[in-house]
Structure 1
Amino acid sequence: MDTLIMVGQLLLGLSILVGLHELGHLLTAKMFGMRVEKFSIGFPPKIAGFQWGETEYSIGAIPLGGFVKISGMIDESMDSNQMSAEPQPWEFRSKPAWQRLIVMLGGIIVNVITGIIIFVYLVYNNGETYFSRDQVVQNGIVSYDIGQSIGLKTGDRILDISGEPYTSINDLSSGSALLSENGFYTIERDGQQMKIDIPRGFINSFDSKEALSNFVEIRYPFALSVIDKGGAADQAGITVEDKILAVNGNPVNYFDELQSELSKVKSQEAEITLLSNGDTTFTQVAVTERGTIDIAVRPLIEPVRREYGFAQAVSKGTERAFSVVIVNAKALGKMFTGEVSTRNVSGPIGMAKIYGDTWDWTKFWSITGLISMILAFMNLLPIPALDGGHVIFLLYEMISGRAPSDKFLENAQKVGMVVLLALMVFAIGNDILKIFTG
């Protein structure tokens, strides 16, 4: 069932985005009087379809893309017979270059608009919930393996990122922070300020969904919320009204300190100092082999909750949408230098895992908006067979006044299709490799 939920979300998300992308091409083509022969979500073989006017609308069995076939355009159909005939007024090739350019950008524009609308909606509807920079500075962080690998320590108070203020603890692991040139965290440790460099390629440490939870989190004071009946703490007479002050004489102001002290005395007894009914008391507790005393706690700090009006949501949502493009452009550039590992490239399996095995509409639309912006960016790359390749050839025609020959465009299309196929094979191979290597 978990796999079905992941696949279902992926197929729904891609179907929406591919359908809207191809709709952008279809509407702009029809706007300029071009004949659209086919509109398909998914690649052949066709599993369903209908004819409406001059256009056949269909759903393909391979749900990893889609296409619009416009008369007189060299595309993946490689319809050379049509191209050998005299151009007709309704054909793509007979229209002015500026009209053809708009048609080729139509899908990208629709994906950008879709991404912006999704992010604006999410910001307006949900607002933001986060631990703020002030809370991080006040309480410090808990540093896990990935954070410790660059020199961060539990208790550090992170003041800024590369000299710039930040808003949320989530900013510490954002793409813009991890991909920054000569980036660093300014921290306060034991009353002294120092810099912790963000190493080149550090973003490669975040190649799994578990990685973020292995970086840093806010440090929080705590109160007892549940005492397991018959457990170690219950047997020692501890109640939820009590406050734990120390373990074996070592003060514990934060939950991570409690965990650390108890882990030192697994399967032993520990002296717990309590504040109980205004008095300081002591009790002996048998610590389990897991380093616990059978309690649950609640944080004594609450995340910041921020609501946005519509105008604010439009600004914030648009900013978020385009930040996705900027981060992906940076990451792609750093892949060519080797700083960012190509292992981060994911195919359909990786995308399905990002959606996850639980159906959460907020998460679904967040990821779909993210993919919409990435799809727009990737389609703008100057690779023949992608919209960006057609755009480059059209810009050349508009600037030089000479259109590339049909033979050149046909050969470029073939090369582009080979490149795209190779990239798809590589991405799927990456997905499979991650399954076996983690």
Structure 2
Amino acid sequence: MIQLGQILFILSVLVILHELGHYVAAKIFKVRIEKFYLFMDAGFALVKKKIGETEWGIGWLPIGGYVKLSGMIDESMDTEQMKTPPQPWEFRSKPAWQRLIIMLGGIIVNIILAWFIYTVVYSTYGQKYISTERIQENGLVFGEVGQKAGFRNGDKIMEVDGKFQPNFNRMALDVLLGDNVQVERDNKKVNLVLTDEMKAEIIGKEGKQFMGPRWVNVKIDSIFPDSNAKKAALKIGDNIVGINGIKVTYFDQFGDELAKHKNDSVMLDVNRNQQVIQIKALVTKDGTLGFKQKTKALKDDYLVNNQLTVGEAIPAAVKESWSLLVYNVKHFKLILRPKTEAYKHVKSPVGIARALPDEWNWEFIWNFTALFSIGLAFMNLLPIPGLDGGHSLFIIAEMITGRRLSEKAAGYVQTVGMIILLSLMALTFGKDIYQLVADKFF
């Protein structure tokens, strides 16, 4: 329920302010607003009330919202008023430059909102991120798919497409969205090129978790009951430094060495209380002993927190907003490349809600709202009929050519656009709802 509450709150803030951008711009140019809706009222509305010339309401379908302008074919698909002569208060009667500003009003508000949120967050909570430099001090560890793509345990990622990324979470995204990765391996620079097929396998099987910090020291934090580690009398705090006389410095080395002795006994060199002792243990068929490794907490040991003044936060917020817009462009390009299969992982609000934390955290919520706001701005910039970008494209074409799309053609275009959008929504919602049900009952 907390996850549901968070996504509804975030969507409500974003939709209301986005539509408010259209509303204010329309009011400035004296266009009549017939409806202002949070969420879609397909068939019926949960709440509605007419105040003056505008009907205000909340729809039942949380996939957006809309402002219905007089004299415009929009999400409502109302074409009746278009059969009458244009009136001075209608959208279609206004000059092209005014109509363009009205269409871009929501996008502008989304961008300003992200700037504002990041400014407040950076000047209160601080600018926080996981340090790439700190986390790969001992190099990185890669999953099976990452190693198949050419990475090796111990690699340090120096550049992606010629740039170093100080934020480790962004570094993982850069690798998936970039083309050329430069790593440092055994004090040498090695260049890797990830194919679309490699990216598809990483995204599908491991995602951003395909790489992580390389833990030094095999120190036992907890021992599972009835495990081989328990039977071998290993203790919490023990540090395993060797297997069968072979030195192991990193946990991944320990795991690789154990895997060579499945269903077999090994002699462990164990540092206990500053003394190295030998303990015999049986390795399971899965290549494990049954204990949990003591690791560092990412947010405690690798977190950078830059406390910024308001004056410092403003340009940092602008830079972050621009960076997120660029990431949206790169992500969209990745989705358009079928071999990456990134399109399979596009999420609806249902899927996004499931990824939210189980507890209410205002810092996280505001950061996520800002990120989502830039995503909403980018999505609406796309030149797809039915979105703000589609309407804007036709207005810009009109400004260049001096010819306006006929109302009949505009109706057809809007219909096609709505069919495309609703089909995409049905696919993403259907996929995420199916996954939700499958996870609960299968």
Which category of TM-score, normalised to the shorter sequence, fits these structures?
0.7 to 0.9
Distance in 2, matches of 1:354 and 1:195, equals 33
2:4 is the counterpart of 1:7:
yes
Aligned with 1:39: secondary structure? strand
Distance in 2, matches of 1:300 and 1:435, equals 29
Cα 1:101–1:300, aligned 2, differ >3 Å: closer, same or farther?
Answer: closer
Question: Which residue of the partner structure matches residue 150 of structure 1?
Answer: 149
Question: Which residue of the partner structure matches residue 36 of structure 2?
Answer: 39
Preserved CA contact (<8 Å) 1:355 1:364? no
Range moving further from structure 2, 259-268 or 380-389: 259-268
How do 1:17-416 and structure 2 match up within 5 A?
17-44=14-41, 45-124=44-123, 125-133=125-133, 135-136=135-136, 138-174=137-173, 176-180=174-178, 182-189=179-186, 191-207=187-203, 211-213=207-209, 215-222=210-217, 223-225=219-221, 243-265=239-261, 269-285=265-281, 291-292=288-289, 294=291, 296-299=293-296, 302-310=301-309, 311-341=311-341, 342-355=343-356, 359-416=360-417
**Amino acid across the alignment from 1:217:** G
Range moving further from structure 2, 411-420 or 31-40: 411-420
Distance in 1, matches of 2:81 and 2:290, equals 77
Shift in Å at residue 293 of structure 1?
5.3
**Amino acid across the alignment from 2:305:** R
Distance in 2, matches of 1:184 and 1:294, equals 35
**Amino acid across the alignment from 1:87:** P
Cα 1:83–1:160, aligned 2, differ >3 Å: closer, same or farther?
Answer: closer
Preserved CA contact (<8 Å) 1:169 1:217? no
User: What are the Cα deviations for residues 319-348 of structure 1, in whole angstroms up to 9, with x where unaligned?
Assistant: 333333223323333444534433233334
Aligned with 1:152: secondary structure? coil
Aligned with 2:72: secondary structure? coil
Cα 1:246–1:94, aligned 2, differ >3 Å: closer, same or farther?
Answer: same
Distance in 1, matches of 2:231 and 2:345, equals 50
Preserved CA contact (<8 Å) 1:28 1:106? yes
Preserved CA contact (<8 Å) 1:48 1:59? yes
Show structure 1 runs of 5+ residues with no match. none
Preserved CA contact (<8 Å) 1:259 1:292? no
Show structure 2 runs of 5+ residues with no match. none
**Amino acid across the alignment from 1:247:** I
Aligned with 2:215: secondary structure? coil
Preserved CA contact (<8 Å) 1:133 1:166? no
User: What are the Cα deviations for residues 410-433 of structure 1, in whole angstroms up to 9, with x where unaligned?
Assistant: 232222222222322333354467
Shift in Å at residue 303 of structure 1?
1.1
Aligned with 2:35: secondary structure? strand
Shift in Å at residue 62 of structure 1?
1.4
Distance in 1, matches of 2:376 and 2:350, equals 16
Distance in 2, matches of 1:73 and 1:114, equals 27
Distance in 2, matches of 1:256 and 1:169, equals 20
Cα 1:236–1:397, aligned 2, differ >3 Å: closer, same or farther?
Answer: closer
Preserved CA contact (<8 Å) 1:74 1:410? yes
Question: Which residue of the partner structure matches residue 426 of structure 1?
Answer: 427
Preserved CA contact (<8 Å) 1:221 1:299? no
Shift in Å at residue 152 of structure 1?
1.2
Cα 1:168–1:220, aligned 2, differ >3 Å: closer, same or farther?
Answer: farther
Aligned with 1:355: secondary structure? coil
Shift in Å at residue 42 of structure 1?
1.5
Preserved CA contact (<8 Å) 1:133 1:159? no
User: What are the Cα deviations for residues 297-323 of structure 1, in whole angstroms up to 9, with x where unaligned?
Assistant: 244993142314134433333333333
Preserved CA contact (<8 Å) 1:9 1:352? yes
Cα 1:370–1:202, aligned 2, differ >3 Å: closer, same or farther?
Answer: farther
Distance in 2, matches of 1:418 and 1:153, equals 46
Shift in Å at residue 385 of structure 1?
1.9
**Amino acid across the alignment from 2:68:** K
Cα 1:269–1:110, aligned 2, differ >3 Å: closer, same or farther?
Answer: same
Shift in Å at residue 379 of structure 1?
1.2
Distance in 1, matches of 2:416 and 2:118, equals 36
TM-score after normalising by structure 1: 0.84
User: What are the Cα deviations for residues 234-286 of structure 1, in whole angstroms up to 9, with x where unaligned?
Assistant: 77676656543223222122223333444545565543324445444334456
Distance in 1, matches of 2:313 and 2:344, equals 34
Shift in Å at residue 221 of structure 1?
1.6
**Amino acid across the alignment from 1:179:** L
Aligned with 2:252: secondary structure? helix
TM-score after normalising by structure 2: 0.84
